[in-house]
């Protein structure tokens, strides 16, 4: 399950997360052959297993027939990725850009997206908002509501007015690490995680992170990158608009 980032001519570290079968010398060479080989390339091995609090039998397939491996991936991107050793080793990371192994950037990016985020004090950027099937988020938003009430906080307008079937298409996101490492985010996702819906119902990382963004990030600190030429699965953004 590689997660790859192509950084064009900008000298930023690139971290590729892989399972053990891609971590040997042959696997690393394969990874390098499919990238532009940035100067600072790191490979972090991840091992997936059910968390200890999942005690009831987990269905072999859940949601839209996704296997347990897919649900491991969802939990990884919502929670575990920010707790990987490499993330603390690479100190001073202010922003992170997530791309999947089947994400494609098919035109050069001519400006520094991280500097763009920093200079405008943005916290979260995305390339698409789409609808999620109601069956795949059954009980998720209600669980978030429970957590907010338990914390005694007020509901921000962003969260209160968000249509609950809408999600950020999180296979492309540039975000401030401070959002995901904050105490508020950690408490929120740990609460959601322990309800077990990631494994029993296939709650995805995209709706979980959408909840977090609408709860923790002011609306005016989000940004839609319409100019990046990007493809993932059947979605294509041709990036025809001029850069900002």
Catalytic residue list: 173
Distance CA 76, CA 84 (A): 10
Q: Is the CA virtual torsion 112, 45, 40, 32 positive or negative?
A: negative
How many angstroms separate the Cα of 225 from the Cα of each of 13, 41, 80, 232?
Answer: 21, 25, 26, 15
Distance CA 221, CA 4 (A): 25
End-to-end alpha-carbon separation of the chain, Å?
Answer: 33
Distance CA 174, CA 113 (A): 8
Q: Are 175 and 125 in contact (CB under 8 A)?
A: yes
Distance CA 137, CA 164 (A): 9
């Amino acid at each position: 399950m590689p997660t790859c980032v192509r950084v064009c001519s900008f000298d930023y570290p690139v971290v590729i997360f892989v399972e053990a079968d891609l971590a040997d010398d042959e696997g690393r060479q394969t990874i390098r052959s499919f990238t532009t080989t940035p100067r600072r390339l790191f490979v972090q091995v991840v091992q997936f297993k059910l968390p200890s609090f999942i005690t009831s039998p987990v269905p072999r397939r859940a949601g839209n027939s996704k296997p347990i491996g897919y649900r491991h991936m969802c939990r990884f991107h919502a929670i575990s990725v920010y707790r990987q050793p490499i993330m603390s080793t690479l100190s001073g990371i202010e922003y992170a850009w997530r791309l999947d192994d089947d994400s494609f950037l098919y035109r050069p990016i001519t400006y520094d997206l991280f500097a763009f985020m920093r200079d405008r004090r943005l916290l979260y950027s995305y390339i698409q908002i789409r609808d999620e099937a109601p069956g795949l988020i059954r009980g998720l938003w209600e669980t978030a509501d429970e957590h907010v009430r338990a914390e005694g906080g007020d509901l921000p307008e962003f969260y209160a007015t968000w249509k609950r079937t809408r999600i950020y298409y999180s296979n492309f996101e540039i975000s401030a690490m401070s959002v995901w490492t904050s105490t508020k985010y950690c408490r929120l996702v740990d609460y959601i995680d322990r309800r077990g819906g990631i494994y029993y119902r296939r709650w995805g990382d995209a709706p979980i992170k959408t909840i977090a963004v609408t709860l923790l990030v002011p609306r005016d600190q989000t940004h839609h990158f319409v100019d990046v030429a990007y493809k993932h699965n059947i979605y294509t953004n041709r990036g025809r608009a001029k850069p900002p």
